[in-house]
Amino acid sequence: MRIFLVGASGVLGRAVAAELAPRHEIVSGGRNSGDVRIDITDADNIRAAFASLGTVDAVVCAAGSVRFEPLEAITAAPLASSVYGAGIHDKLMGQVNLALEARQHLADRGSITLISGVLTDSPIAAGSSASMVNGAIEAFVRAAAIELPRGLRINAVSPGVLLESMPHYAPFFRGFEPVPAARAALAYGRSVEGLETGKVYRVF
């Protein structure tokens, strides 16, 4: 298969590439690096990236960011200036727009794999934005799966905090057992190479 991997230079993206590259052609994508430059926060940029890419058999996303902020410090604000708006604009709508554009460039029976995260199921202090965004991604995947044409599939991978990222995220995830990126990457393989759709593969 020809697989477009968005976020290929990140910790998880590199692990996904290592898992899938022995069997498939990987086209790497990223904001500042990769075979194809793509900024998922910019819908026009997403369209341009796909236009340069041609047809693929799978689109895989290991990108997207949210802000961590204590709830007591978050006040009501318009979406553009809200703490929540950052995650909605980037990780949520970035991936939704990626999936919507991917429909036009996937071969029949191709697949889309998005990323959510453990905070959907296990909230933490300062993580309300991440929990909200991750939950919305999973709901979108389940809903989109029943409408995608041409046998296209869509799933999400929900990893725990990655072992390789613990030096940065440890203060937020006390008591969590970290997950090696290579183990999370197996779920991407299951999504891309399997037959299921509308699924959330939880790796924690």
Long-range contacts of 94-100 (CB under 8 A, 24+ apart): 94/40, 94/41, 94/63, 94/64, 95/40, 95/61, 95/64, 95/137, 96/137, 96/140, 97/40, 97/43, 97/46, 98/6, 98/40, 98/46, 98/59, 98/61, 99/59, 99/140, 99/144, 99/154
Residue 5: the pLDDT is 99
Give residues with Cβ within 8 angstroms of 143, minimum separation 6. Answer: none
Assign 75 a pLDDT band (cuts: 50, 70, 90): very high
Residue 16: the pLDDT is 98
Residue 137 sits in which domain range?
A: 2-203
Residue 120: the pLDDT is 98
Mean of the pLDDT values across residues 142-170? 97
Residue 106: the pLDDT is 98
User: Which residue, 173, 95, 171, 169, is CA-closest to 134?
Assistant: 95
Assign 154 a pLDDT band (cuts: 50, 70, 90): very high
Mean of the pLDDT values across residues 184-200? 98
Q: Tell me, what CATH number does 179's domain have?
A: 3.40.50.720
Q: Across the chain, what does the average pLDDT equal?
A: 97
Query: How crowded is residue 81: how many other Cβ atoms within 10 Å of its Cβ?
Result: 9
Measured CA to CA in angstroms, residue 148 lies from 105, 187, 198 at distances of 13, 21, 10
Query: Bridge partners of 26?
Result: 3
Mean of the pLDDT values across residues 59-85? 96
Residue 15: the pLDDT is 98
Residue 136: the pLDDT is 98
Residue 17: the pLDDT is 98
Q: What's the domain count of the chain? A: 1
Query: Bridge partners of 203?
Result: 159
Furthest CA-CA distance within the chain: 48
Between CA 173 and CA 181, with CA 178 as vertex, the angle to 5 degrees is 125
